[in-house]
Chains A and B, each alone.
Chain A
């Protein structure tokens, strides 16, 4: 991790910090998602999070380095009362659900409502349907997720922490939506390049999985 900022050396000066919080029912893969994004790893038996976990990762979008302070909250209901502490003042949130479990989707919806009510008004919310690798057992259709996201103006993606699909894309999309101090003229081509770059970054990380 320490090597990466140096890698993006020139952009480091412009690094912007954003507080990002992960929310969702327990066992939907919040911690796995973060682990994949931050360390490029995947544990088949990820232990349940207690309280919350704190990690950081930087991404570069349009030449701007964005540092995410990621608060990975525990999904278990008994920790629910702690959640407001973490999403308070957060600029971004990823609400995760499990596409093979309908209930988690419903829970995700209630998280969206809660954030609408209590979080910052300008918070950028992404809805992530995780466990895309198990799409043959899916209980929540893509259309359903994306329709809901569109309705509530959320970023929507189906991800897989196991295979790494779309994981960094979610963070990059969020980074794009976040207010930059000095907005740069950008075009689509550039964006694609940066995405690729991001994937490469993850791929180059230590302990990378070859599945990607």
Chain B
């Protein structure tokens, strides 16, 4: 009795699957393992169903916002699904690009407006203060009329009115209504700095601050930041970056130019003299650019000694770099010289070709020693393949003959081993003289050793293959593998 037999009821089934189903349903009790498997299957299928429906929701866009239950479920499921697949994605770059410039220009306009207002305000205040006016609030109010329509704080949205305890204030720039907690105060000195006006000496100990909203305070802060960057020495970094860029260009140009100049000096006709000269001018220009940047870096004024040191070092490094590479821009030979060089080269190549022809003629005539060497060893190395493929037993006689030839060749090689550059004979030393196959195996092993010693990967691979085939043959013939 053989086949897919149930071990319990000895019933025979067509396939392993049927048997397993039968066995599991009839004899596999409700073991913990099977229960777990079932539970796992169930959970997995449930999760995949959920995921499917979730995917559909995403696919249908924002229409799912109507009912709240799916959202709840999704939220509930979140901790389980760590990497949720990305749903449908919409590319909004175009919209973004369309909207962005408008927004930027708008905010720029606003900022500019505020900046102008600040300028106006500051100048009025300064003149009024010099005139000795005390009620600066009135001055501010007169320069920029306050917006009194609203009773709502622009900062926190609280309703403010004269009747309430919280007093109504105004931002001095945007004129928006402010509560006391949302008011920011910027000293007049800072405001003067922000509009780039000279600070009068008497202002130093004058106490007055502008009441501003958050937004307008930021405008002043950013204006100050801008002025700071304009005046500061950030140019160092920028210049150094440009210097490196120019150096990189230089390097690639140097490589190209040297190639051209060498080729021209060799009398080759790959490039023309004009091409070379154009490249040369380009290269020299690039070197000048490098020099300028390094000069600029060195010329940056600074108070920090470390930065000064760095600047000087940069300049020195660039100088040595230029000194090293300038010789490559040596002028190219003149046209006349080039022609001469080319002529000479033509002559030389003609001679070389003639010599090669003669050489070829000589090699066609029989010159026995070097070629046989090669052919012989090659023959031995490759010979076993056909023999094995044909099947040893059927064509043994023929192969034995070829084996004999191979052996002779091998001996030949062995004799000449010293002078041959390829396979040397030392490896070809058949140890077991019993069966030609065994002998062949030894020969192959020798070659393999040699190939491994010389690190010739391709040969190692082919030799290994051959050896395996031989070994298989030996095994199938039942020869003792010693």
Contact = CB atoms under 8 A, between A and B. Distances in A.
B4 A54 contact: no
A27 to B, nearest CB: 16
Nearest to A82: B16
Interface string B1-44: 11111110010000010011001000000000000000000000
* Most chain A C-beta atoms within 10 Å of own C-beta, residue among B2, B3, B7, B23: B7
Nearest to A87: B7
B29 to A, nearest CB: 11
A79 B2 CA distance: 13
Given A51-B16, A51-B19, A79-B16, A85 B7 contact: yes
Contacts of B19: 51, 82, 85
B23 A49 contact: no
Interface string A35-79: 000000000000001111111000000000000000100000011
Contacts of B5: 51-54
Interface in A99-115: none
A127 B2 CA distance: 23
A51 B23 contact: no
A51 B7 contact: no
B2 A71 contact: no
A122 B26 CA distance: 25
Query: Could you say which of A52, A81, A86, A88 has the most chain B C-beta atoms within 10 Å of its C-beta?
Result: A52
Contacts of A71: 7
Contacts of A82: 4, 16, 19-20
Nearest to A51: B4
Interface residues of A, number: 16
A81 B20 contact: yes
B1 A54 contact: yes
Nearest to A54: B1
A49 to B, nearest CB: 6
Contacts of B6: 85
Contacts of B23: 85
Interface in B88-126: none
Interface string A146-169: 000000000000000000000000
Given A79-B16, A82-B19, A85-B20, A50 B3 contact: yes
B20 A49 contact: no
B262 to A, nearest CB: 63
Contacts of A85: 6-7, 19-20, 23
Contacts of B16: 51, 78-79, 81-82
Question: For B16, B19, B20, which residue has the most chain A Cβ atoms within 10 angstroms?
Answer: B16
B3 to A, nearest CB: 5
Contacts of B10: 54
A34 to B, nearest CB: 11
A81 B1 CA distance: 20
Interface in B345-401: none
Nearest to B475: A137
Interface centre among A55, A82, A85, A86 (most CB of B within 10 A): A85
Contacts of A78: 16
Given A52-B5, A85-B23, 17 more contacts: A19-B7, A50-B2, A50-B4, A51-B4, A51-B5, A51-B16, A52-B7, A53-B2, A53-B3, A53-B5, A54-B5, A55-B1, A81-B20, A82-B4, A82-B19, A85-B20, A88-B7
26 contacts: A49-B2, A50-B2, A50-B3, A51-B2, A51-B5, A51-B19, A52-B3, A52-B4, A52-B5, A53-B1, A53-B3, A53-B5, A54-B2, A54-B10, A71-B7, A78-B16, A79-B16, A81-B16, A81-B20, A82-B4, A82-B16, A82-B19, A82-B20, A85-B19, A85-B20, A86-B7
